[in-house]
Structure 1
Amino acid sequence: MPQNNNIPLKCTAIGQFLYNNCSMLAEKTVEIQYSRQSELYSKYGEKGKKFSLQDCKYHIFYLGESICLCSKTLFLDYMQWVKVLMSNLGIHEKYLITNIEIIKEVISECASQGQITKEDISVVFEYLDAGLMAFKNEDTFSPSYIDKSTEYGELAGQYLDLLTEGQKKEASYLIFEILEEGASIKDIYLNIFQPSQYEVGRLWQTNKISVAKEHYITASTQNIMSQLYPRIMTQQKNGHTVIATCIGSELHELGIRMVADFFEMDGWDSYYLGANTPASSIIQMVKDTNAQLVIISATLSINVHKLKNLIEDLRRSKDLDDTKIMVGGHPFNIDPDLWEKVGADLSAPDAQQSMEVANELFE
């Protein structure tokens, strides 16, 4: 059973300090920043200050998450994401740089008050300085996830265009037309739904679509997947059972639902639990179904600690010693060692490879 032995206790301690004091640290940081850069108030007003406070809390929480997991990669990925987002919102990066520099000051003050040690400070500064280095690269270009030179690229672009224009019925017709022409459901999932969902996230990040539009497109794709579900059922079962869920209150459920469907198509009995399922209910479902595999997804790195806690709950449960745990999602794709740090048995970057890795293990 994988153990989380490669995360130093000091990382967990300082990460926990940042979690617990996130609001206090963010409030001090924003007050100092608005006193030094007085033009912020005239530009963005009280509403802007509230957004600044919210953003600062995210910076500190992501910082704490990354340190807790000893994954500088997660924090660098987050900082690059924020840089692109702010650039496309027309907010000059100097404000974000100043914000990070003041966070360092505020945390240094905590050390002078004995709340944390100098060793803790060195760890925090290492991560923050690495984050600041990300801003030396002036490129904020974010390429499309839809490659129209590929076999299904044009169709993926057409599908997303229809949903962006609010034409859900036409998008559904397009998918069923592709099916009638010989494409498999796996082809559609991997080559149309997956890149179009990645592209939706990029369009929101670059301020091309609203949150409401992002949610509409995702909900529409989920609805079309529901229409396809009767076609993925297979009479030939392999005797294996999988539970698929995403962590906590994450709303990014589409990816893990695709994974569950791939397993179903391959002959597994799959139980897709979605989001907001309590750990106790997940554990009970594993026992009730005698599932050999549990797959847990996290899209946001800010939620990886919750995923880690769920794995620990599963490991402590009686009668689940032989149950294997697979993890996936964006954080695990950018940090290839993260799955071991959270105590999982397996990880894979997409639905197809998840199924292949699992089948190889259980053969």
Structure 2
Amino acid sequence: MPTNQALREQIAQRLNQELEALASYAAKQLTHPAGTDAGSTLDQLKQHLLALGNAVLMNSPALFEAHVLQLSKELGAPHAIEQVAALRQALLLRLSVGEYVVAASTLSAGVNALTSKEVAVEPIAAPSPERTPEAGRFAGLSADYLALLLAADRTAAQRLVLAEAEAGTDVRHLYLHVLQPAQREVGNLWHSGTISVAEEHYCTAATAGLMAQLQPYFQHTPRNGRRLLAACVAGDLHTLGLQMVADFLEYDGWEVSYLGASTPLESIRRMAAEQGVDLLLTAASMPHHVPLLRELVTGLRSDRVTQHVRVLVGGRPFAHEAGLWERTGADAWAANADEAVTVVRGMFGDGNRDADVKASQAAS
């Protein structure tokens, strides 16, 4: 009998290997109303199977719940439930009894999420910066910034925020209370179909460009003698959140090597070893990135050169289930850039850094 984790790995591997066959069998169980695309339905079923495999591998039904809830916004809950039911039939046919029991329990979690009126669609996370007292001051600016982006006036949107930075506003406040809530709303508008993929890309690219323009307005702070590496794993193109965390930690004294989007795991491990980094920042913007984070951390821990490197993870999937980040082997997770600074200070015993810096400044 395989161990519980070995069984989960076995199931995930089978789902991946038999992806085409399982999706095709499930598709035959579905009725296709006029106007629906059979090819699109097949792709959706494959997405379900990949999400299921990742959720089983990580022992996290919440990952599959998050996947089906998100897709149901596009398909509608009844259609999503029908697809999951068809997949159940396919799995019953092709998996062993032991494999099916594990996979079916995760499928059931997805169905329950779709049918329950009590389920919270939004992830459970730490209080967001937008709810703090400072947020009220910037709410109007964030709304104006977003409105200009949606009107395709990137230049005016960027000038609006740059003017605040030039007036002396802390760039960290602009990140947390202007750019972050605006970008989150862009994502919500895209998920709901209100704006197109092109419009979402336009807004995201404009915000990334603005962040680059804001770099000179970050105050110079003393270096702490430590280096971090920040990178998104292969296939993850959502970099804004990671960039924000890296910028906050650079402000807090860290030397930063930022690799950005979709970096192969071996490249990340090699650079961590070559640069002698103390901390790795990485994130999962989608549920299927979570197993890759675990693979990355496992690789770091298995190499004596990098086994000391601390790992901080972030991303939306970890907000759906408390403790999921621990299954990646990471040392900690943070919900936003401001929280990341506090967490990292605690990891490295720098909890009193602010007081030390003020004392040093007073002495000089």
After superposition, the Cα gap between the structure-2 partners of 1:126 and 1:140, relative to the gap in structure 1 and judged at 3 Å, is closer
**Which runs of 5 or more residues in structure 2 are unaligned?**
123-127, 350-364
Q: Secondary structure at the match of 1:150?
A: helix
In structure 2, the partner of 1:307 is: 293
Q: Secondary structure at the match of 1:267?
A: coil
Match for residue 26 of structure 1 among 23, 26, 31: 23
In structure 1, the partner of 2:357 is: none
For residues 326-350 of structure 1, what are the alpha-carbon distances to aligned partners after superposition, in whole Å with 9 as ceiling and x for unaligned?
A: 1111111222211211111111111
After superposition, the Cα gap between the structure-2 partners of 1:43 and 1:134, relative to the gap in structure 1 and judged at 3 Å, is same
1:223 aligns with 2:209: yes
Equivalent-residue separation in structure 2 for 1:107 and 1:280 (angstroms): 33
After superposition, the Cα gap between the structure-2 partners of 1:235 and 1:153, relative to the gap in structure 1 and judged at 3 Å, is closer
In structure 2, what residue type is equivalent to 1:8?
Q
2:170–2:218: 8 Å Cα contact kept in structure 1? no
In structure 1, the partner of 2:67 is: 78
In structure 1, the partner of 2:90 is: 106
In structure 1, the partner of 2:190 is: 204
Q: Secondary structure at the match of 2:256?
A: strand
For residues 257-283 of structure 1, what are the alpha-carbon distances to aligned partners after superposition, in whole Å with 9 as ceiling and x for unaligned?
A: 111101111111011111232223222
Equivalent-residue separation in structure 1 for 2:120 and 2:107 (angstroms): 23
1:132 aligns with 2:132: no
Equivalent-residue separation in structure 1 for 2:55 and 2:179 (angstroms): 30
In structure 2, what residue type is equivalent to 1:103?
L
In structure 2, what residue type is equivalent to 1:214?
E
Describe how 1:153-168 pairs up with structure 2 within 5 A.
Answer: 153-168=139-154
In structure 2, what residue type is equivalent to 1:66?
A
Structure having greater relative contact order (Cα 8 Å, sep ≥ 6): 1
Post-superposition offset of 1:296: 1.1
Equivalent-residue separation in structure 2 for 1:181 and 1:281 (angstroms): 41
2:301–2:308: 8 Å Cα contact kept in structure 1? no
After superposition, the Cα gap between the structure-2 partners of 1:63 and 1:282, relative to the gap in structure 1 and judged at 3 Å, is same
Equivalent-residue separation in structure 2 for 1:97 and 1:339 (angstroms): 28
Post-superposition offset of 1:246: 0.9
Match for residue 327 of structure 2 among 333, 341, 350: 341
Describe how 1:251-262 pairs up with structure 2 within 5 A.
Answer: 251-262=237-248
1:96 aligns with 2:80: yes
Match for residue 16 of structure 1 among 13, 20, 25: 13
In structure 2, what residue type is equivalent to 1:250?
D
After superposition, the Cα gap between the structure-2 partners of 1:322 and 1:210, relative to the gap in structure 1 and judged at 3 Å, is same
2:233–2:264: 8 Å Cα contact kept in structure 1? no
For residues 61-115 of structure 1, what are the alpha-carbon distances to aligned partners after superposition, in whole Å with 9 as ceiling and x for unaligned?
A: 111110110001111111211222224xxxxx332222111111111111xxxxx
Equivalent-residue separation in structure 2 for 1:71 and 1:138 (angstroms): 21
For residues 207-232 of structure 1, what are the alpha-carbon distances to aligned partners after superposition, in whole Å with 9 as ceiling and x for unaligned?
A: 10000110110000000011111222
2:11–2:99: 8 Å Cα contact kept in structure 1? yes
Equivalent-residue separation in structure 1 for 2:63 and 2:273 (angstroms): 33
Answer with 257-266 or 6-15: which moved more: 6-15
2:229–2:258: 8 Å Cα contact kept in structure 1? yes
**Which runs of 5 or more residues in structure 1 are unaligned?**
1-5, 88-92, 111-115
1:63–1:75: 8 Å Cα contact kept in structure 2? yes
Post-superposition offset of 1:140: 11
Post-superposition offset of 1:186: 0.5
State the TM-score, normalized to the length of structure 2.
0.87
Match for residue 177 of structure 2 among 188, 191, 195: 191
Equivalent-residue separation in structure 2 for 1:355 and 1:253 (angstroms): 18
1:83–1:140: 8 Å Cα contact kept in structure 2? no
- Provide the identity percentage: 29
Equivalent-residue separation in structure 2 for 1:238 and 1:257 (angstroms): 19
1:267 aligns with 2:272: no
After superposition, the Cα gap between the structure-2 partners of 1:129 and 1:269, relative to the gap in structure 1 and judged at 3 Å, is same
State the TM-score, normalized to the length of structure 1.
0.87
In structure 1, the partner of 2:45 is: 56
Equivalent-residue separation in structure 1 for 2:217 and 2:171 (angstroms): 8
1:28–1:106: 8 Å Cα contact kept in structure 2? yes
After superposition, the Cα gap between the structure-2 partners of 1:313 and 1:120, relative to the gap in structure 1 and judged at 3 Å, is same
In structure 2, what residue type is equivalent to 1:105?
Q
Q: Secondary structure at the match of 1:242?
A: strand
Match for residue 279 of structure 1 among 259, 265, 272: 265
Describe how 1:112-151 pairs up with structure 2 within 5 A.
Answer: 116-137=95-116, 150-151=136-137
CA RMSD in angstroms, aligned pairs only:
2.3
